[in-house]
Amino acid sequence: MSAASAEQERVTRRYERLARFYDVCNAPMELAGLRTRRRRLLGLACGRVLEAGIGTGRNLEYYPPGVELSGIDVSARMLERARRRARELGREAELHRADVQELPSEEGTFDTIVATCLFCSVADPVRGLAELRRVVKPEGRILLLEHVRPRNPVLGLLADLVSPLTRRLFGPSLNRRTEENARAAGLELVEVRRDGIWREIVARPVSGDAQAADARSTVE
């Protein structure tokens, strides 16, 4: 087993343990604006949709009508809660256990791919983002909602110092550079909404004449 695979196994076990408490622990963030960010970004989803890292299904209520939804997660216990939430909402969704770093889908399968608060915990985020690029259609979109390393030098250093502890105890790292990782994975950042540590990203596979550095950004 590779080092990255071993790390991902450890992270998966942490999320299995935390599954029953996950929604309660995240409630303050939801009330502090995460719910609004979810609604705004997921309103862009259309067609055949894959949600990578669906977790307990917090995004299910925000998808527009008519999408054909599939979801994957590494945690079986998280998926149990997502299935329960889907039933309660009357939302049709195919949910499977899988790792974003090795997606079981063929190239160019999905019109939209969604990942929210996922790439803070993936062992190899560039590999995971490259898998999203592989399975999205060439004209499709990837919608990411992620927290990233603070730009403030002091806060950034603090995130670097704290991340090994949060990684060990809960799973996520607080110092991921998701914009840079997305570019390294071959994605063009079409639009980025920056608000503190939060990023709402609309991306797509890099075309022959596209330059990932040309992303249009909005700052709040």
Which of 98-112, 119-133, 163-177, 188-202 has the lowest average pLDDT? 163-177
- pLDDT value at 88 more than 70: yes
Domain range spanning residue 56? 3-219
CATH of the domain at 104: 3.40.50.150
Tokens standing for 152?
């403030």
Confidence of residue 18 (pLDDT cuts 50, 70, 90): confident
Q: How far apart are CA 109 and CA 50, in angstroms?
A: 9
**Per-position DSSP letters for 126-161, written without gaps between them:** HHHHHHHHHHEEEEEEEEEEEE---SSHHHHHHHHH
* Residue 22, pLDDT score: 82
What average pLDDT does this structure show over 120-125?
Answer: 94
Q: Which residues contact 33 (CB under 8 A, 6 or more apart)?
A: 195, 198
- pLDDT, residue 4, reads 73
At 208 the pLDDT is: 58
CA distance 125 to 46: 24
Q: What is the mean pLDDT of the chain?
A: 90
More confident site: 126 or 17? 126
pLDDT (0 to 100) of residue 28? 80
Confidence of residue 1 (pLDDT cuts 50, 70, 90): low
- Contact status, residue 65 vs residue 45, Cβ threshold 8 Å: no
| Number of residues written out for the chain | 220
- The number of folded domains in the chain is 1
Lowest-confidence range among 27-36, 48-57, 68-77? 27-36
Dist CA 216 CA 193 (whole Å): 9
Q: What digits encode the pLDDT tens for the residues 140-198?
A: 999 999 999 999 999 999 999 999 988 888 888 999 999 999 999 999 999 999 999 99
Q: What is the pLDDT of residue 169?
A: 81
Instruction: Spell out the residues 6+ positions from residue 9 whose beta carbon is closer than 8 angstroms to its own.
Output: 1
Number of H helices, E strands in the chain: 7, 8
Mean pLDDT of 109-113: 98
d(CA 32, CA 155): 20
* Burial (0-12, 13-18, 19+ Cβ within 10 Å), 137: middle
CB of 170 closer than 8 Å to CB of 14 = yes
- Percent of the chain past pLDDT 90, that is, above it, reads 74
